[in-house]
């Protein structure tokens, strides 16, 4: 792993002079300074990003031919953000959420769609928020 880091950064040696406790205290002080108005520091905001994309696979329980594969989050999306996925379908569905390479993370059974459609007698749009 160290060799990969050195080749990626184009450096000869990695520094081994990091004090973990000191680094944690400095990081906490910077984050706290961002949230207060009594300390004057230049704001430093960090955000986590996902290097991979996430997709949903929507399958119909009644129609085996029905399948949609929308992308929920693209690569380098900020973690903690929300995405609303809307689709029209009048039968119960299964939503499989996973990485773009097909590895599933979770499975959701979305039921009672047919009952809602029959009661409303209109085309309803289903929405899932991730």
Same domain, 57 and 110: yes
Radius of gyration of the chain, Cα coordinates, nearest whole angstrom: 23
| Predicted local confidence at residue 61, as pLDDT | 78
Phi, psi of 45 (to 5 degrees): -110, 130
107, 76: one domain: yes
Residue 128 has a pLDDT of: 80
What are residue 107's phi and psi, to 5 degrees?
-125, 135
Per-residue pLDDT reduced to its tens digit, 5-63? 888 888 888 877 778 888 899 888 888 887 787 777 776 666 778 888 889 888 887 78
Q: Looking at the 3D structure of the chain, how many domains does it have?
A: 2
Here the tokens at position 68 are 């949609």
pLDDT of residue 123: 59
Same domain, 118 and 56: yes
Torsions phi, psi of 16, nearest 5?
-115, 25
CA atoms within 13 A on the CB side of 32: 8
Query: How many Cβ atoms from other residues are within 10 Å of residue 89's Cβ?
Result: 20
How many C-beta neighbours within 10 Å does residue 109 have?
Answer: 9
Q: Does residue 106 fall inside a structural domain?
A: yes
Indicate if 20 and 60 belong to the same structural domain. Answer: no
**Residue of higher predicted confidence among 130 and 28:** 28
pTM of the model: 0.55
pLDDT band, residue 124 (cuts 50/70/90): low
Kindly indicate the confidence band of residue 129, based on its pLDDT and cuts at 50, 70 and 90.
confident
Give 93: exposed, middle or buried? Use CB within 10 Å, 0-12, 13-18, 19+.
buried
Residue range(s) defining the domain that contains residue 27: 2-34
- Are 57 and 90 part of one and the same domain? yes
Local confidence band at 102 (pLDDT 50, 70, 90 cut-offs): confident
What digits encode the pLDDT tens for the residues 75-90? Answer: 888 877 788 888 777 7
Q: Are residues 53 and 30 in the same domain?
A: no
């Amino acid at each position: 792993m160290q060799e990969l880091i050195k080749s990626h950064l184009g450096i000869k040696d990695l520094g081994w002079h990091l004090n973990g406790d000191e680094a944690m205290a400095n990081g906490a002080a910077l984050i706290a300074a961002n949230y207060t108005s009594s300390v004057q520091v230049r704001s430093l905001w960090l955000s986590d990003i996902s290097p991979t994309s996430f997709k949903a696979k929507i399958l119909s329980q009644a129609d085996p031919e029905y399948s949609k594969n929308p992308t929920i989050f693209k690569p380098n999306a900020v973690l903690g953000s929300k995405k609303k996925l809307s689709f029209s379908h009048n039968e119960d569905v299964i939503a499989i959420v996973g990485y773009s390479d097909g590895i599933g993370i979770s499975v959701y059974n979305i039921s009672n769609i047919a009952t809602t459609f029959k009661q409303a007698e209109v085309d309803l749009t289903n929405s899932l928020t991730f």
